[in-house]
Amino acid sequence: MAESALSLAGQHLLPKFWEALNMLKDLPKEVADLTDELESFQDFINDADQVAETEQDGGRRDRIKKRVMRLREVAFRVEDLIDEYKVCEEKQPDDLGCAALPCEVVDFIKTLIHRIKVAYEIQEVKSLVPAERNGFKSHFPLEQKPNSSRGNQNVTWHKLRMAPLYTGEAEVVGFDGPKDQLKDWLIKGRLERTVISVVGMGGQGKTTLAKLVFDNKEVFECFDCRAWITVSQSYSVEGLLRDMLQKFGEERMNVSSMDQMSLIDQVRAHLHSKRYVIFFDDVWNKYFWDEIDFALIDSKKGSRILITTRNEEVTEFCKKSSFIQVHKIEPLSEKESLRLFSKKAFDIC
């Protein structure tokens, strides 16, 4: 019976194993092709964004912007995968000899598993880019322009990065401890306004972790109001303030015509005497906190601000005027890496 089970397992796993090794062989070329495709796709997103900006019909403009948002989510996913591949290559150990130490063998296996995971994800997104591009063009044809956005280095395509990951909690690996830690920092502790900073490089799952906590029922019930704001590299303070007011449900106000001071006053008025929580996702600018601090009133109700960032300087600037807690994303353990590999490669929980 045991031999039969082992034979069945071997028949299932061995083809997958050889398939994974073949994918690794082609991975450098796949990443190079994907990098070229990403550059072209970013230009396409810029052109699509221009279509939205020049559209006169308000309803159609909103539909185009929603579709552009989807394009950006795909592009960010591709970008993070390329970053993750580069990290894998930097950490790749030398070939193991017969005298390799156990710890070196473990490191080799962990790196191999990570590279295979990246290879599978790259295969998955390869078809997404042309599918999303063609889907957009079928609904909103782009005019052919002799002077397109390609090559224009001054155009920043990172605008409003909406939450790129809508991953179910059951699909997430390695975040149980960090999720509980962040949840405790949010709902327990001092009454003074506190900033919680989640720091890590691209592709490590900052947004995924933050979204798990943001959607948690216990966290939801502890605050009078909450908002998820996507920041990214290109933003305006006025845009963030308007986004906050809209998330708070203040649509009745004509926020589009307000200047920065009026917007700050409205945000402060809404948050006054409330226990609020605001998540700012993907903050790059180290001066971000200085720009937003005055709007986030401290009524000593236990309010919390959570920031995800790749830039540790963002955290340092928050310390000047607020209590702060910092969580740094750590690499997966060997056990978690194997579990993630099993889920991705073989759909085994």
φ, ψ at 260 (rounded to 5°)? -60, -45
CB of 285 within 8 A of CB of 314? yes
Cβ-based neighbours of 51, under 8 Å, separated by 6 or more: 64, 140, 142
Q: What is the pLDDT of residues 257-306, one digit of tens each?
A: 888 999 999 999 999 999 999 999 989 888 899 999 999 999 999 999 99
4 confidence band (pLDDT: 50, 70, 90): low
157 confidence band (pLDDT: 50, 70, 90): very low
Q: What is the pLDDT of residues 188-230, one digit of tens each?
A: 999 999 999 999 877 677 888 888 899 888 999 999 999 999 8
φ, ψ at 104 (rounded to 5°)? -70, -35
- Terminal-to-terminal C-alpha distance of the chain: 23
Q: What is the pTM of this model?
A: 0.52
Q: Which CATH class is domain 169-330?
A: alpha beta
- Residue 253: its pLDDT value, please? 67
- Strands 225-232 and 323-328, how do they pair? unpaired
Domain locations in the chain? Answer: 2-141, 169-330
CB of 63 within 8 A of CB of 155? no
